[in-house]
Chain A
Amino acid sequence: MTSVLDVKNLSRAFGGLQAVRDVSFEVQEGEILGIIGPNGSGKSTLFNCILGQLVPDEGEVRVDGQVVTGLRPSELNRRGVSRTFQLLQVFPQLSVRENLILAGQEHRGSRLRRLFGPRDAGLTPDANRMIDFFRLGHLAEEKAGGLSYGQQKLLDAAMAFMAGPRLVLLDEPAGGVNLTMLASLKERLQAINAETRATFVVIEHNMEFVMSLCTRILVLAEGRLIAAGTPGEIRSNPDVIEAYLGH
């Protein structure tokens, strides 16, 4: 069986600074993989290289066995890879439903069909289902900019699932979210993972959140992969404790 995401020997430098060095890992279907590491350990650079936001200096990224290194983010998205951002990125002047339709429309039919077809690209039922799933039902017509931070975060996550992705990369999904909302976010993510078999890769600072959400965890320090294992193994790994507390 080929893995959903296969990263091989990825490296990327900025000037003299080696942000990511020789990182390799695989993610299997249905897995929820966490990536942790201290600030500046290269997590975001790694993410951006996988997602086509940056072009890696060396190495290869495969999705479902196909090389996608250097593809533009939109091409990658249309191949079933979606993401959320560390900072909120919804479209404030569009309604909640419009945001969701936007997130799905480029996967529906050809561009020409969309021009002549219905205004919602036939996505209203899907959007409504997603709204219900993330319990935003009473807010469907509201402008996204008028939602609370936590609600926008839910919408942001919901947008990543609109197109039925194979692989979802979540960049600090728990950042700035209060405890109640956090529990509901985690529970929704696990539910959608169980339902669709979509594969997740999560970057997160909130240890408790990562440990309880993910099935496997990678640890980055100074651009290198220093440990991998189940949450339990990571918790007791002396290298990890060293990396976090050492310097």
Chain B
Amino acid sequence: MAEILQLVIAGLATGAIYALAAIGFTLLWQTSQTINFAQGEFVMLPAFFALVAMNWFGWPFWLSCLVAILVSVLLLGMVFKVIVVDPMLKQGVLPLVISTIALGLLLREGAKDFYSAEAQPFPYIFPDRQVSVLGVQLSLSQIGVLLIALAVIAALQLFLSRTRTGRQMQATAQNPTVARILGVPVERMILYTFIINAALAAMASLLISPIYLAKFSNGEHLGLAAFVAAIVGGFNQVRGAIAGGLLVGVIDNLAAAYVSTGYRQSVPLILLVLFILFRPQGLLGRREERAV
């Protein structure tokens, strides 16, 4: 029992990180119909920004993390929107999908060629120490990760629901055409979404890299986790993405313990297929009208 509890807590910690990636993915889809197939690489890369700052420039860890977040917001948020997405929007969905796939490839190969093909150790933000609470071994680091991720999510939710800009963003996400008629500066809101996505991805990167190590090929697993979390959550709901992320994290960790190593990667995917079969609207989504 204690073991399962430990696994669940570890799962919630990684799940909260997946949720960060899934929220950004969902927001991008809602506001600009962009399915970002490079989302996994967006979570892989910021850790390398921090590593570059630390190991090439010799900056302290906290500063490197800050720099990583800023560089991500700039490159993966603004530059991504202006250089990759904007010119593509008028070309239709497929070219944009292809372009994000190519971008994912570019980022992955870039991290490999310009930094290293080897997995890089990444410092823990919290001490990697175990404490015992009522007979359950808890890792301080995991609790810290969980708390930070939940705090970020809570802050985002507050921003979206309590501030004027946040509500305008939500209006844009729900229906850009109506939002535009109501006087919402839709273009600026879409830019904010990209910035938020990049910031969330950077947070996720800094939190997950101590656990998984920073490696150029991490994007595949992280991207899959984010897709599954977003779809399981209902694809167009921020709350859904959070629930989906936590669920995928817990299942991922339980699978790591109880499913043979060869197939543990497939467990979240089976979850995805089950949801598409039996609950395509997701955990919190509502049934949609017939597509055709």
Contact = CB atoms under 8 A, between A and B. Distances in A.
Q: How large is the interface on A (under 10, 10 to 19, 20 to 34, 35 or more residues)?
A: under 10
A136 interface: no
B290 interface: yes
Interface string B11-41: 0000000000000000000000000000000
Contacts of A72: 290, 292
B289 to A, nearest CB: 7
Nearest to B289: A54
Q: How large is the interface on B (under 10, 10 to 19, 20 to 34, 35 or more residues)?
A: under 10
Contacts of B292: 72-73
A55 B289 CA distance: 9
A53 interface: yes
Contacts of B290: 53-55, 72
Contacts of A53: 290
Contacts of A73: 292
Contacts of B289: 54
Interface string A65-86: 0000000110000000000000
Q: Label chain B's interface by main secondary structure.
A: loop
Nearest to A55: B290
A157 B290 CA distance: 25
B32 to A, nearest CB: 25
A72 B292 CA distance: 9
Interface string B191-223: 000000000000000000000000000000000
Interface in A28-58: 53-55
A50 to B, nearest CB: 15
A14 to B, nearest CB: 10
A56 to B, nearest CB: 12
Interface in A52-111: 53-55, 72-73
Interface string B265-292: 0000000000000000000000001101
7 contacts: A53-B290, A54-B289, A54-B290, A55-B290, A72-B290, A72-B292, A73-B292
Interface of B: 289-290, 292
Of all A-B residue pairs in the complex, the 7 with the closest CB atoms, nearest first, are: A54-B289, A55-B290, A53-B290, A54-B290, A73-B292, A72-B292, A72-B290
